[in-house]
Structure 1
Amino acid sequence: MSTTSNEKSKRNKYALMCSLLACMTTIILGYDIGVMSGAIIFIEEDFHLNYVQKEVIMGILNVYSLLGAAAAGRTSDWIGRRYTVVFAGAIFFAGALLMGFATNYGFLMVGRFVAGIGVGFAGMIASVYTAEIAPASSRGLLASFPEVFINFGILLGYVSNYGFSKLPKHLGWRFMLGVGAIPSFFIAMAVLAMPESPRWLVMQGRLGEAKKVLDKTSDSLEESQRRLSEIKEAAGIPEHCNDDVVVVTKNRHGEGVWREFILHPTLSVRHILLCALGIQFFQQASGIDSVVLYSPEIFKKAGITSNTDMLLATVAVGFTKTIFILIATWQLDKVGRRPLLLSSVAGMIISLIGLGAGLTVIQSVDHKLTWAIALCITSVLSFVAFFSIGLGPINGIYCSEIFPLRLRAQGVSLGIIVNRVTSGVISMTFLSLARAITIGGAFFLYGGFAVVAWVMFYTLFPETRGKTLEEIEMLFGRFFKWRSVDRELMEIKRSSSQDQMG
C-alpha cells in the first residue's frame, strides 16, 4: 500500500510541475492588469490624457487579445501546446519592451496591441494544456493554476507600481511596463523542459510518446491505460492499435469543429456552449476588471487622496486576491465546483452592494465619513476575496474540462474571446459609466449582473469534480432533454384536452 501511495505522489508531483510551468505564462496577463492600474496615474500626467483616452489604454489590451485567443486554438493544434506557450511568451516580451520605450500615446497603443496578442495566446493555452495533462483526482487543483498565476502577476504589478513610483514620472511608468518582459523571457525558456500534451500527441498519431507522458502524469498505470484508451477512441484510433506511430485522419487540426458548434450542435454541445460562454461572460460582467484596474480611482473616490496611499491600498487588494486564490486551489477537488461557485458569487453580490452603497453615500455628502470609507475598502477586499475563492479559478477549470477532446482547443478559445470582449467593454466604459450613473450606480449594475449569474449557475451547471474529461460530456444536455420532455408532455395534454372538447 505504501508503495502505491509513493508512486501516486511521484506521478502527481510530475503533473504538478508540468502544470506549473505551463500556467506561469499567465503571470504576464496578471502583471499587465496590475501594473497598468498604477502606471496610468503617471501616463495620464506625462501624456496629458483625457478620460476617454485613459479608458481606452486601460481596456484595449483585452480587445487586442482577441486576435491571440482566436488564433491560439488552431495554432496549438498545429504546432502543439508546448510551443504555443513559448510563442505566447515571446510575443508578450516584444510587447512589454515596446510599451516601456513608448514616446507618445500612439506608440504605447502599438505596444498594447502586441502584448495583447501574447496575452490572448497565454490565457487560452495554459488552461488547455493543464486540463489535458492532469489526472482526474487533482485536475481542479492543477487547472486552477492559471488563475493563481494571474493573481500573482497582479500582485507583482501592484508592487512594481509602488516600487517605481518614486522615480521621475517620465521614467517610473516605463520601468513599470517594461520589466514585464523579464518574466516572459524566462517563462518561455523554462516551458521547453515540459512534455507535450498527451492528447495532442495522440491526435498526431504519436501513441508511444503519449503513453510515456500519461504513465508519468497519471495516479496509476491503470489510469494511464484508461486515459490512453479514451483519448484514442475520441481520436478515432482503434483500441487494438498499439503502434508507436499511426496515421490519424479524423479532424486532426480542428476541421469541422465550427460546423459542429454552430450548424449542427447536439443537445450536449449546446449545453456545454451555454455554460462555457455564460461563465466567461459573467466573470467579467460582474466587474472584477473594473475593481482591479481602477482600484486607485475607487480609493480616490472613497476619500484616499495621496498617490502613495492609493498604491499601498492596491497592494492590499493584490495580497487579498493571492491569498484567497491559494485557499481555493486546495478546496476545488475537496468541496467541488458548484458549492464554491455559488458561495463565491453570493459573496460578490453582497460586496458589490456594500461598495455601491458606500460610494453613493460618500458622493452625496461634502465631508469625510470614516465609516463609509471603511465600508468601501472592506467591500473591495471582500469582493476580490470572494471572486478569488470561486468564480475566478473555476471559470478556467470549468471551460477547459467540459469540452470533449475534438472541440476543446476551439471551445476554450471561443470562451476566452467572450471573456476578453466582455472585459474590454467593462474596462473601457467604467469611467464613462461612472460619469453617467455615478460610480456607486456602476457597482449596483455589476451587482445586478452577479445576481443573474448566480441564478444561471444554480440552474444549469452540473458538478464535474472527480470525473474524467470523457465522462463529463455525459453530464450535459440533460437540462435540454428535460425541457424537451416537458414540452412533449404539454403538447400531449393540450391535444388530449382538445380531443375531449371535440
Structure 2
Amino acid sequence: MLESKQTKPTPHHHPSHFLSQQPNMGGRKDEISTTSGLQVPLIKSLHPSKKPKKRNHFAFLCSIVASMSSILVGYDIGVMSGAAIYIQQDFNISDVQVEILVGIISLFSIIGAAVAGITSDWLGRRYTIVLSAALFFFGAVLKGFAPNYPFLMFGRFVAGVAVGSASLIASVYTAEVAPTSSRGCLYTFPEVFVNVGILIGYVSNFAFSKFPTNLGWRFMLGLGIIPSMLLSIVVILIMPESPRWLVMQGRINEAKQVLIRTSDSIEESIQRLADIKTVVGIPTSCDEDVVQVPKRKTHGSGVWKELFLHPTPAVVHILITAVGVNFFAEATGMNVVVSYSPRIFEKAGISSTDHKLLTTMGVGITKTVFVLIATGMFDRIGRRPLILTSIAGKTISLIVLGVGMTIIDKSKEENTWVVGLCVAMVLTDVSFYSIGMGPMCYVVSEIFPLKLRSQGVSVAMITNRIMDSIVGMTFLSLYTAITIGGTFFLYGAFGVVGFIFFYVVLPETRGIELEELEGLFGNFLWKFSNNNRP
C-alpha cells in the first residue's frame, strides 16, 4: 500500500474545496467523511497522462457480459416501434391504446428497478442479472402468444419488470468491477448494448414485416427469448460476483481474487480492497478470509434514511445530479424518436412501409455507431464536456426538427429538401444523445457511495422510467394538440433547461477513485473553484 500522510480538512473547508487546493495529489494527503461518518483517506487518483497503457481485459469481459443485459432493454424498445403498427391493425386498437402499449413498459420497469435495488444487495449483482433475463424470457413468450390486448399488456408488465431490473444492475455491476483507468469507457457498455438491442429490434421489424399481420408482430416480440437465454448462460459461465458486494457480505478472500483479476496492477487491487473495507466498516488490517459484517451496515431502512431523511450535503448533491441526468435524458424526447420513428418519418413525407422501416434501421445504426465512439471518449475527454456537448447538440437538432415538421404541416406541396432535413435532424438528434446523455445515465452510478449505490441508482432509474413512460404515452396525443412541430419545440425547451442544470450541478469525475468521488459533491458553487482535474 502507498505510504500516506493524512491531514484532516479544517471545519470551514468543504472536501471539494480541499480537493481543489491539491489537483495533483502525489499520495494520500487528504481524507473525506463518508456517509457512514468514517474518515476515508483519499488515495492518489490517476492522472490521464499517467494511466496504464495496458488495459485489463478481464474487467472488459466482465463489463461486457453484465452490459449484455441491456440488450433486453434495447430490443424491447426497438422491436415495439415497428410491431405496434401491426398490433394496431390486428387487434383494431386506437392510437391511445398504442400509446399506452408502447409507453407503459417504462412504468412497469419502475417495479423492476425497485426490486433490483433490493435483490442486488440480498442475492448479489450476478444473480440479479440472471433473474432479469428469466423474467424477460417469460415476458417474450407471453407477448408472442397473446390472444388479445389485455393479455399482451400482461406480457408487457412481465417484460417491464425485467427491463427495469436489467437497466439498474448493468450500471451497478460495471461501477463496482471497473478499474479507475477505464471506468468511463466501461460505463458506456450498457448504453452500447441498449443500442445494439434497438438495432436488432429494428432488423427484426424489417425481417418479419412481410409475414401475415397476425403472425409478424408475434415473431418480432417472441424473438426476445433468444438474447435472454444466451445472457443467462454467459453470466453463469463467465461472470464473477461484484467485489464490493462480496466485501459487504464479509467474503474478503473472494473479493480479493476478483479485484486482482479486474485491476490494472496488484498494487491497485490492494488499494481498492482497502478502500472498500474502510467504507464498509471492516478494519483494513483485517486479513481474515471471511468476516462478519452487520447487516444494518449495508441493508435495510437505514440506507433509505441516509438517502432521504438524514442525507449529508454531499448525498443531496449526488442524488440531485443522478436524478437530473435521468430526468433530462428522457424529457428531451429520445423515447419518442426511437419508439415512434416510423410515424415521424411518415409525418415527414415517407409513405412506403419498407422505406419507413429502412430509415428507422438507419436510426438504430447511427445510435450504435456514435455510442461506440463515445466509449473511448469518457476517459479521455471527461464526463462534463461530453454531456454539455450532447445536450446542446440535441437541443439544436430538436428545434430544427420542429421547424422542419412545421413547414411540412403548413405546406400543401411536397418539399423533398424538408423531408431530407427532418431525417437528418432525427439522425443528428440520436447521434448527440449517444455521445453523452445516453451513456451518462449509467455513468452516474459511479458517484454514489458504496453503501447507497444500489438504492441510489434505483431512485435515478425510477426517475428515468417515469419520464420515459410520460413522454412515450403522451406523444401521439401531444402532437394532435399542439402539432408535431410544437411537440419537438417543447422537447427542445427541456434541453435548454437541462444544459443550465448540467453546467451548474455536474462536476468532472474522470480519473478519480470511486471511494474519493463523494468529496467532489456537497458544494453547488464548485464550478467557481479549481477542483476539476485536467
Structure 1 equivalent of residue 503 of structure 2: 458
1:425 aligns with 2:470: yes
Q: Tell me whether 1:358 sits opposite 2:404 in the alignment.
A: yes
Structure 1: distance between partners of 2:402 and 2:245: 47
Q: Assess, with a 3 A threshold, how the Cα gap between structure 1 residues 354 and 11 changes in structure 2: closer, same or farther.
A: closer
Q: Which runs of no fewer than 5 residues in structure 1 stay unpaired? A: 1-7, 484-502
Say if 2:208 is the partner of 1:171: no
Secondary structure at the counterpart of residue 470 of structure 2: helix
Tell me the equivalent position of 1:393. Answer: 439
Shift of 1:273: 0.6
Q: Which of the numbers 371, 374, 377 marks the counterpart of 2:423?
A: 377
Q: Select which of 295, 301, 308 maps to 2:341.
A: 295
Q: Any gaps of 5 or more consecutive residues in structure 2?
A: 1-51, 529-534
Contact 1:347 1:386 in 2 (8 A): yes
Matches within 5 A, 1:400-419: 400-419=445-464
1:153 aligns with 2:197: yes
Q: How many residues are treated as equivalent by the alignment?
A: 475
Moved over 4 A (4+): 8-11, 480-483
Between the aligned partners of 1:247 and 1:204, the Cα distance in structure 2 is: 8
Q: d(CA) in 2 for partners of 1:276 and 1:77?
A: 20
Q: What's the CA shift for 1:189?
A: 1.3
1:323-344, CA deviations, whole angstroms, 9 ceiling, x for partnerless residues?
0000000111000001111111
Per the alignment, in what secondary structure is the counterpart of residue 290 of structure 1? helix
The structure 1 residue matched to 2:75, chosen from 8, 31, 38, is 31
Instruction: Show CA shifts across 1:288-336 (max 9, x none).
Output: 0001000001000000111111000100000000000000001110000
- Offset at 1:125? 0.4
What does 1:253-268 correspond to in 2, within 5 Å?
Answer: 253-268=299-314
Q: Deviations over 1:149-207 (max 9, x none)?
A: 00000000000000000111111000000001111111011101211000000000000
Q: CA deviation at 1:482?
A: 9.9
Q: Distance in 2 between the 1:482 and 1:357 partners?
A: 35
The answer to whether the Cα contact below 8 Å between 1:434 and 1:440 also exists between their aligned partners in 2 is yes
Matching residue within 115, 125, 133 for 1:71: 115
State the partner residue of 1:220: 265
How big is the shift at 1:11? 6.5
* Deviation string, structure 1 residues 372-406 (Cα, Å, up to 9, x no partner): 111100000000000001111122112x1000001
Distance in 2 (CA, whole Å) between partners of 1:479 and 1:222 is 34
Residues 254/458 of structure 1: CA separation in 2 closer, same or farther (3 Å cut): same
Partner AA of 2:174 in structure 1: T
Separation (CA, whole Å) in 1 of partners of 2:127 and 2:419: 48
Deviation readout 1:449-471 (Å, 9 max, x if unpaired): 01100011011100000111111
**Paired position in structure 2 for 1:486:** none
Rounded to whole Å, the distance in 2 between the matches of 1:217 and 1:10 is: 12
Distance 1:107 1:477 in 2: 48
1:253 shift after superposition: 2.1
Contact preservation (8 Å) 1:19, 1:142: yes
Question: How big is each residue's C-alpha offset from its partner over 1:8-61, in whole Å with a ceiling of 9 and x where there is no partner?
Answer: 787710000001111101101100100000001111100111111010001011
1:209 to 225, 250, 254: 254
Q: State the Cα distance separating 1:445 from its structure 2 match.
A: 0.1
Per-residue CA deviations over 1:213-240 (Å, capped at 9, x if unaligned) read 0001001111101100110011100111
The two structures have a TM-score, normalised by structure 1, of: 0.93
* Residue aligning to 2:141: 97
Q: Does 1:112 align with 2:156?
A: yes
- Tell whether 2:126 aligns with 1:85: no
CA displacement at 1:481 relative to structure 2? 8.6
- TM-superposed deviation, 1:252: 2.7
Q: Return the letter of the residue paired with 1:216.
A: R
Percent identity reads 58
Aligned pairs for 1:38-53 (under 5 A) are 38-53=82-97
CA contact (8 A) 2:507 2:526 kept: no
Corresponding letter in the other structure for 1:461: L
Match of 2:299, SS state, is: coil
SS of alignment partner, residue 297 of structure 2: coil
Match status 1:342 vs 2:378 = no
AA aligned opposite 2:400: G
Distance 1:15 1:289 in 2: 31
Q: Specify which of 164, 170, 188 is matched with residue 126 of structure 1.
A: 170
State the SS of the aligned residue for 1:246: coil
1:251 deviates by 1.7
What does 1:131-142 correspond to in 2, within 5 Å? 131-142=175-186
The separation in 1 between residues aligned to 2:138 and 2:486, in whole angstroms, is 39
Secondary structure (helix, strand or coil) at the match of 2:68 reads helix
Q: Specify the code of the residue in structure 2 equivalent to 1:110.
A: F
Partner letter of residue 206 of structure 1?
R
**2:290 is matched with which residue: 235, 245, 251?**
245
Instruction: Tell me the equivalent position of 1:55.
Output: 99
Task: Say which SS state the counterpart of residue 272 (structure 2) adopts.
Answer: helix
Q: CA 1:9–1:15 in 2, change beyond 3 Å: closer, same or farther?
A: farther
Aligned CA distance change for structure 1 residues 481 and 293 (closer, same or farther; 3 Å): closer
**AA in 1 matched with 2:197:** G
The separation in 2 between residues aligned to 1:378 and 1:194, in whole angstroms, is 40
Indicate how the Cα distance of structure 1 residues 228 and 311 shifts in structure 2: closer, same or farther if over 3 A, else same: same
Matched, 1:323 2:369: yes
Give the C-alpha shift of residue 426 in structure 1.
0.4
Which whole-Å deviations, capped at 9, do the CAs of 1:394-439 have from their partners, x for residues lacking one?
22112x1000001000000111000000000000000010011000
For 2:106, the aligned partner's letter is N
Of 444, 463, 474, 2:519 maps to 474
Structure 2 CA distance for aligned equivalents of residues 252 and 338 of structure 1: 30
Query: Taking structure 1 as reference, are residues 482 and 30 closer, same or farther at Cα in structure 2, changes over 3 Å only?
Result: closer
Shift of 1:81: 0.4
Question: Hey, what's the Cα distance between the residues in 1 that align with 2:259 and 2:53?
Answer: 15
TM-score under structure 2 length normalisation: 0.88
| RMSD value, Cα | 1.3
Residue 480 of structure 1 and its aligned partner are, at CA, apart by 6.4
Question: Contact 1:355/1:443 (CA < 8 Å) preserved in 2?
Answer: yes
